[in-house]
């Protein structure tokens, strides 16, 4: 679903993403981890067809990330860190608005009802978004991003600040989608969430410092960390130290 080769993004003299190579297969939940400013959002934006790479190449669902960006944008789901909902509209009206935006044809009402049920939002359908608590707003944002049943979903820190119930509902939803064949690329600040991914890439100053299946990374670093089951947080801190980075950097 995603193939990137040596993808780089520069803003002037500053290199935000530096030679990233990775691939994500159908139905995988792939986690992008890294400290603030590591380049995760910039990388996601290139994969979503919003930003052009400075160099390198890649495809998303077979479309070229430099030349076929509008094709990619039409097919994917994307929930950015600053997701936008209309506070004066009800939950259902917001979803109908996104249904129009995604050009959902035919059974809009049925699809909106399905998505409301999937995210436990049915009883809130007539409530204005401004009257919802933060966690419930996040559910509306997830629901909006999945309304057109995209085969590939990009989620940039989707559970940031969410309450435990919302986070749990969100991960239940992600597993359901992945079981149905949806491919998911997610960035997260929460290590327990990162450990739920099939594979992760740890980014450090624009580069992928470690990548692989969570279980394989644990095995790989068990010896050097002298622990049978090191956490992703411990692995990340080990990598940071090895590169002479400042202590205390937070993974997320």
Q: Name the one range near ligand ATP by CB under 6 A: 40-48, 139-147, 170-178, 240-248.
A: 40-48
| Angstrom distance (rounded) from CA 128 to CA 94 | 9
Q: Name the one range near ligand ATP by CB under 6 A: 32-40, 62-70, 128-136, 140-148.
A: 32-40
Q: How far is the CB of 156 from ligand ATP (least distance, A)?
A: 7
Nearest to 160 by CA among 200, 184, 208, 193: 193
Residue found under tokens 């979803």: 95
The one-character DSSP state at 144 is H
Q: How far is the CB of 35 from ligand ATP (least distance, A)?
A: 7
43/140 with CB nearer ligand ATP:
43
Residue 175 touching ligand ATP (CB under 6 A):
no
Q: Alpha carbon of 220 to those of 167, 193, 203, 226, 230: distances in Å?
A: 29, 20, 17, 11, 10
End-to-end CA distance of the chain: 24
81/122 with CB nearer ligand ATP:
81
From the list 42, 94, 144, 231, which residue makes contact with ligand ATP (rule: CB under 6 A)? 42
Residue 39 touching ligand ATP (CB under 6 A):
yes
Q: Alpha carbon of 19 to those of 5, 9, 80, 147, 207: distances in Å?
A: 7, 8, 23, 33, 7
Contact 37, 17 (CB under 8 A): no
Q: How far is the CB of 16 from ligand ATP (least distance, A)?
A: 3
From the list 5, 26, 36, 67, which residue makes contact with ligand ATP (rule: CB under 6 A)? 36
43/129 with CB nearer ligand ATP:
43
Backbone angles phi, psi at 199, to 5 degrees: -135, 155
| Angstrom distance (rounded) from CA 233 to CA 118 | 32
Q: Which of residues 4-23 bind ligand ATP (CB under 6 A)?
A: 11, 14, 16
Query: Which residues of the shown chain bind ligand ATP in the complex (CB under 6 A)?
Result: 11, 14, 16, 34, 36-42
């Amino acid at each position: 679903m995603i193939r990137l080769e040596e993808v780089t993004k520069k803003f002037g003299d500053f290199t935000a993403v530096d030679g990233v190579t990775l691939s994500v297969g159908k139905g995988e939940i792939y986690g992008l981890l890294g400290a603030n400013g590591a380049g995760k959002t910039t990388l996601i934006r290139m994969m979503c067809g919003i930003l052009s790479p400075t160099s390198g190449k890649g495809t998303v669902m077979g479309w070229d990330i430099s030349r076929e960006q509008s094709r990619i944008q039409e097919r994917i789901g994307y929930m950015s860190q600053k997701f936008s909902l209309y506070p004066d509209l009800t939950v259902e009206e917001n979803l109908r608005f996104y249904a129009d935006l995604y050009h959902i044809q035919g059974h809009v009402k049925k699809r909106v009802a399905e998505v409301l049920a999937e995210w436990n939002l049915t009883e809130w359908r007539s409530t204005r978004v401004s009257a919802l608590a933060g966690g419930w707003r996040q559910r509306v944002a997830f629901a909006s991003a999945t309304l057109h049943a995209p085969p590939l979903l990009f989620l940039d820190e989707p559970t940031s600040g969410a309450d435990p119930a919302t986070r749990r509902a969100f991960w239940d939803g992600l597993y359901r989608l992945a079981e149905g064949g949806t491919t998911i690329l997610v960035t997260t600040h929460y290590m327990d969430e990162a450990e739920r991914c099939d594979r992760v890439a740890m980014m450090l100053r624009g580069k992928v410092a470690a990548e692989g299946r969570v279980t394989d990374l644990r095995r790989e670093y068990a010896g050097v960390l002298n622990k049978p089951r090191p956490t992703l947080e411990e692995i990340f801190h080990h990598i940071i130290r090895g590169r002479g980075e400042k202590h205390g950097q937070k993974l997320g």
